[in-house]
Amino acid sequence: MQKQPAQKAGQVYELLRRSIIMLEIQPGAPVVEKDICAELGVSRTPVREAVQKLAEEGLVNVIPHSGTYVSRISFQVAEEGFIIRRALEIESVRRAAQRYTEADGVRLDALVERMRQLIESGQLDLYLDEDDALHAAIAQMSGMPRIWKFITLAKVHLDRMRQLSAPVPGHLAMVTEQHAAIVAAVRARKPDQAELAMRIHLESSFDVMATLYQERTSMFSQESP
């Protein structure tokens, strides 16, 4: 019985976090506890615990005597997350290439094919999940699966920028082919080639996001973190 409130808080947190990252709740939008309680059928306690955790991640701002609002995207924090992610993923993919098995190849190929299907069907809102699944699989293959946990924590603001970039014409098609190149290098058991493919993928994707920062200023914080 003691675990139930914590479980509810965790569920509320995951739902709100996903809605914020997927931009279903826009940057700057108010977070109204009573509305969330009514929508999810929970008391205020788990909602407050979830909001507190989101505040610790920098996804919401709790302003005394005013209210709680979804934070605007911090380009500076997103760039920091990108740098951390790039360093860890390069190490991860090198190790994955050295430890590759045919079973891994089947799993990675299926994920890339799923990405192609999502693009063809126009389900771009689901693409980020498959993208993360591929990178998480590579981390698991590396023999250091906790790397993905650290990346996930670092890339919160980056994820919202990734979601913003999804509708850019041709972007996800390019990303998918970059994923295929990473998989091919890992399959060939060539760490240097895998590192290069990962670096090209991450850096070119961030370049697209940086352009959006210049074009969509209303969604971004202009304050230093």
Number of Cα atoms under 13 Å in the Cβ half of residue 102: 0
Residues of the chain with pLDDT > 90, as a percent, come to 83
Q: Tokens for 90, please give them.
A: 């390069």
Sequence-separated (6 or more) residues with CB below 8 Å from residue 191: 93, 94, 95, 97, 98
Model confidence pLDDT, tens digit, residues 136-187: 999 999 999 899 999 999 998 999 999 999 999 999 999 999 999 999 999 9
Given this model, what pLDDT does residue 80 score? 95
Burial of residue 100, with CB atoms counted within 10 A of its CB: 0-12 exposed, 13-18 middle, 19 or more buried: buried
pLDDT at 6 over 70: no
pLDDT at 2 over 50: no
Given this model, what pLDDT does residue 3 score? 46
Over range 88-93, report the average pLDDT: 97
Given this model, what pLDDT does residue 61 score? 94
Given this model, what pLDDT does residue 134 score? 98
Model confidence pLDDT, tens digit, residues 43-63: 999 999 999 999 999 999 999
Contact 81, 163 (CB under 8 A): no
pLDDT tier, 224 (very low <50, low <70, confident <90, very high otherwise): low
Given this model, what pLDDT does residue 9 score? 87
Residues of the chain with pLDDT > 70, as a percent, come to 96
Given this model, what pLDDT does residue 171 score? 95
More confident residue, 223 or 97: 97
